[in-house]
Amino acid sequence: MPAERVVRGVRKVGATTLAILQRLGFATRFFAAVVWHSPQAFRRLQLTLREIYFAGVLSLVIILVSGMFVGMVLALQGYDVLNRYGANDSLGILVALSLVRELGPVVAGLLFASRAGSAITAEIGLMKATDQLAAMEMMAVDPLARVVAPRFWGGIVSMPLLAALFSTLGVFGAWLVGVKLIGLDNGAFWGNMQAAVDFREDIVNGFIKSVVFGVIVSLIAVFEGYDAKPTAEGVSSATTRTVVESALTILAADFVLTVFMFRGVGV
């Protein structure tokens, strides 16, 4: 019966939409609850510092090494193009602007999601699966305040710092390739970069992006962990969801933010 199939199809779309809306609603309430419980994360600063260590310090290796390689590749590719127009001296500008405006926040965000976000989700999910969160609640300790809020803020604090380090190492990598390997002029490399990179337009905007991505990754990571099914498959699929959702949300948010920050042609 075709009519029956249509009805079933419509019903399925409706059910899926409702499920998505319900989850979004739950995520929003969860976000509000985490913010509500955040004062404790600051009052007991050592809890948040510990999470900054786990999310931030332990992500340093992957962020620094990736930043360096991205900068080196950018220098090689950029030199190849710029050389055709005799604009070698602009290599520093190209690399610095790409990193500070886009690649720093975005790539650091993606790496942060896969290194720290997944770890946060897995940890909270496993704590749930092994009844640690329930035990905490039975001890009259709110897991949102004790477990979730410190991880949330630890991620938000770590992310902009990691993005800044990513960009810094990227510029350093580009300098190694451009100046030390290819032999561009050292003064032109730095001088042009300094002249072209604007603090408000470039650095602050990049910083804003990295903060937003930090909030996105941290929120998705703690939410997916807290919402994970308390089983092995549940935790593993929650971890996967954290990485996929973070990546998609970062890229979409990057586009939206860039549209708002876009000032037309010309630097």
Partner 1 sequence: MKTAPSPAAATFDTRCANAVELSGVTFGYDRRTILKGIDMTIPRGKVVAIMGGSGCGKTTILRLIGGSLRPRSGRIVVAGQSVPQLDRDGLYALRRRIGMLFQFGALFTDLTVFENVAFPMREHTDLPDEAIRDLVLMKLNAVGLRGAAQLKPAELSGGMGRRVALARAVALDPMLVMYDEPFAGLDPISLGVVGQLIRRMNDALGITSIVVTHDVYESLKIVDHLYFVSEGRIVAGGTPDEVRASSDPFVRQFLDGAPDGPVPFHYAARPLEQEFVRAR
Q: Kindly list the residues in this chain that would bind partner 1 in the complex (CB under 8 A).
A: 40, 123, 126-127, 130-132, 134-142, 146
SS3 31: helix
Nearer to partner 1, 105 or 143 (CB): 143
Gap between the Cα atoms of 131 and 150, Å rounded: 19
CB of 105: closest distance to partner 1 in angstroms?
Answer: 30
184 neighbors 88 (Cβ within 8 angstroms) = yes
Query: Which residue type occupies 217?
Result: V
Gap between the Cα atoms of 195 and 198, Å rounded: 8
CB of 138: closest distance to partner 1 in angstroms?
Answer: 4
Nearer to partner 1, 59 or 90 (CB): 59
Nearer to partner 1, 95 or 124 (CB): 124
Burial of 142 (0-12, 13-18, 19+ CB in 10 A): middle
Nearer to partner 1, 139 or 259 (CB): 139
Nearest to 213 by CA among 149, 148, 156: 156
Residues whose CB falls within 8 Å of the CB of residue 102, separated by 6 or more in sequence, listed in order? 206, 254, 258
Q: Phi and psi for 183 in degrees, rounded to 5?
A: 95, 30
Tokens encoding 211: 């903060």
CB of 134: closest distance to partner 1 in angstroms?
Answer: 7
CB of 25: closest distance to partner 1 in angstroms?
Answer: 19
Nearer to partner 1, 13 or 134 (CB): 134
Nearer to partner 1, 47 or 216 (CB): 47
Place of tokens 């127009």: 85
Gap between the Cα atoms of 216 and 220, Å rounded: 6
- Positive or negative CA dihedral for 258, 259, 263, 264? positive
Nearer to partner 1, 123 or 245 (CB): 123
CB of 132: closest distance to partner 1 in angstroms?
Answer: 5
CB of 124: closest distance to partner 1 in angstroms?
Answer: 11
CB of 141: closest distance to partner 1 in angstroms?
Answer: 5
